[in-house]
Amino acid sequence: MPKIIPFKAVRPTRAIVGLVAARPYQSYTIDERESRMAYNPYSFLHIVNPGYKYDQEVTGEQRYRLVKNRYLEFKEDGVFIQDNTPSFYVYKIVNRHGEEFSGIIAAASAEDYENDIIKKHEDTIAKREETFKSYLQTVGFNAEPVLLTYPDNAIIADIIKEVQKKHAEFEFTMTYRDTHYLWKIDNEKTIETIQNEFEKMKTVYIADGHHRSASSYLLYKDEKAKNPNHNGSESYNFFMSYLIPESDLVIHEFNRLIKDLNGLSKEEFLIKLDASYRIENRGIMPYKPTKPHHFSMYLDGDFYSLYLRKTAYDFNTALDQLDAQLLYKTILQSVLGIDDLRHDNRISYVNGQHEMITIKSGVDSGDYVVGFGMCPSNVQQMKQIADEGLTMPPKSTYILPKLRSGITIYEY
């Protein structure tokens, strides 16, 4: 029974919300980041990159303290205001491809994460968990919701549709031509109805934001242990989430680019692949697979189709059915000697929103020797892997929507 609660969000004023909102810090190149900060004093990047003010790179606790200072300055200057009443927020994104995502921003329970009511499908790195936990403890806020997905629910869907008939709190379009809308739900009866519907569900699933979820859980454990008067209602018991129905979730694949053939010649490499795959040369025209367990490959100026031989692989778990795992086991690990998908610098990833021509360009440039394309996984695969307590390989899914920082802020 997932528990979600309304909260008093800190939000940019309507007039400048489009200037404040930013992509996650790591998604910008250094040049992009500095350009935006130079020409936009309201960008949320000024908060998360506080050393810019002094033309100085700062790290660790010093950076965290400066982040908090910049955030407080934004509040003092009226860039951010806080709602007076606890609310849910209906948030809609329409991207340049016409894909539409509508869901509810709420505070989800850290205890539900602990009890596997909020389920995960990715491994997290302990060092990153601890780093972000320390960050949250120092700065005292979180500005980027975790993306959670829940089974389609007709009652919640009707509420969202009804809310969207009203004038939005704000509407703005980013430079990538995706348009964002936000509505506030502060009616107590509507809030209770939404909560009751979520409590009828068995589980919800993390779609994106595994490290943020894990760090928020660590924060909850720390603060609970330090508080002799803990009662479960404190803000640290929850973390900000954007909950969307499963039918709204869009999953793209991550394709792979590899820098070498592990000492093999082209001919030796193809012969090794032949043990597991039926291989067809498709020529120079970009080829993309259309079925699970089939892959495309670009090598030495030609595209190939790779069809898994039915007797070459055992499907025992939901993870075995995942194409990213299949490619890893049958080619990347066994033939190319890539064991660590997260840290091996011989492999790079291209999200499936890019055409196969991107794979071709990477190989033709000489930066890589071979590239692989695959079909995207789906929500049911993700859920089944989570239900079985398994985890996907790194970069198995590129999930939409991608959220912006600084639109709603949850204070601890």
* Domain limits, the chain: 4-251+400-411, 255-395
Two tokens, residue 402: 């991608």
Alpha helices in 227-312 (DSSP H): 266-274
Q: Tens of pLDDT along 384-407?
A: 999 999 999 989 999 999 889 999
The yes-or-no verdict on residue 96 having pLDDT over 90 is no
The yes-or-no verdict on residue 124 having pLDDT over 90 is no
Two tokens, residue 204: 């919800």
Q: Rounded CA gap, 219 and 114, in Å?
A: 12
Looking at residue 24, what is its pLDDT? 83
**N residues, the chain:** 412
Does residue 148 contact residue 234 with C-beta atoms inside 8 Å? no
Looking at residue 342, what is its pLDDT? 85
Average pLDDT, the chain: 95
Looking at residue 389, what is its pLDDT? 93
Which of 177, 146, 183, 145 lies closest to 161 in space, CA to CA?
183
The yes-or-no verdict on residue 299 having pLDDT over 80 is yes
Q: Where are the beta strands (DSSP E) in 26-140?
A: 80-82, 88-94, 100-109, 118-119
Q: Tens of pLDDT along 300-355?
A: 999 999 999 988 788 999 999 999 999 999 999 999 999 999 889 999 999 988 88
Bigger pLDDT: 294 vs 28? 294
Instruction: Using DSSP, state whether 370 is helix, strand or coil.
Output: strand
For the segment 75-96, the average pLDDT, to the nearest whole number, is 96
The yes-or-no verdict on residue 275 having pLDDT over 80 is yes
Taking domain 255-395, whether its CATH number is 1.10.1060 is answered by no
The yes-or-no verdict on residue 55 having pLDDT over 90 is no
The percent of residues above 70 in pLDDT, for the chain, comes to 100
Q: Tens of pLDDT along 169-215?
A: 999 998 778 999 999 999 999 999 999 999 999 999 999 999 999 99
The yes-or-no verdict on residue 227 having pLDDT over 90 is yes
Q: Tens of pLDDT along 147-158?
A: 999 999 999 999
Q: Rounded CA gap, 372 and 255, in Å?
A: 6
The yes-or-no verdict on residue 25 having pLDDT over 90 is no
Question: Does the global pTM surpass 0.85?
Answer: yes
> What does DSSP assign to residue 14?
G
